[in-house]
Amino acid sequence: MRANQGRDTKPELLLRSHLYQRGLRYRVSARPLPTLRRTADIVFPRAKVAVFVDGCFWHGCPEHHRPSRSNATFWRDKIEGNRARDRETNTVLRSEGWAVVRVWEHVEAAEAVDLVLAALAERGVAPRESP
């Protein structure tokens, strides 16, 4: 379990790279709310947009998640707990005025960028023009 990365996964790095190329600046692996013990993968504090890149196994992707055969009860409870925590996080952040963007790790980076840009546009934030 130690080998599982909590941040800087390949999908996160790819998304961050594309966002940076579009002129967007953000915080990485930060708490959107200081009182909430949850970190978002990418945070736009002024725009109040939190982006989460969810792993297919850990968050139970409907397309790619395959239940574990060994220790099935533990893993089923673990994944369901992660899903419940994700729903609670979304509810708390939205109640505090944040926009929440959740992207599965298998989603193409360009599509994920479009989702983030749409959330930022709703908040009146546009990417900077590249020189």
Query: pLDDT at position 130, please?
Result: 55
> Is the per-residue pLDDT at 1 higher than 80?
no
- Condensed to tens digits (0 to 9), the pLDDT of residues 60-107 reads 888 887 777 788 899 999 999 999 999 999 999 999 999 999 999 999
Residue 127, in any domain of the structure: no
- Condensed to tens digits (0 to 9), the pLDDT of residues 103-130 reads 999 999 999 999 999 999 999 988 776 5
Residues spanned by the domain of 71: 10-122
* Look-up of token digits 């009860």: 73
- Condensed to tens digits (0 to 9), the pLDDT of residues 24-59 reads 999 999 999 999 999 999 999 999 999 999 998 888
Residue 129, in any domain of the structure: no
Residue 113, in any domain of the structure: yes
Written as six digits, the tokens of 2 are 């130690």
Bridge-based pairing state of the strands 40-44 and 27-30: antiparallel
Residue 69, in any domain of the structure: yes
pTM for the whole structure: 0.90
CA–CA gap between residue 83 and residue 60 (Å, rounded): 7
Domain count, the chain: 1
Q: What is the CATH number of the domain that holds 118?
A: 3.40.960.10
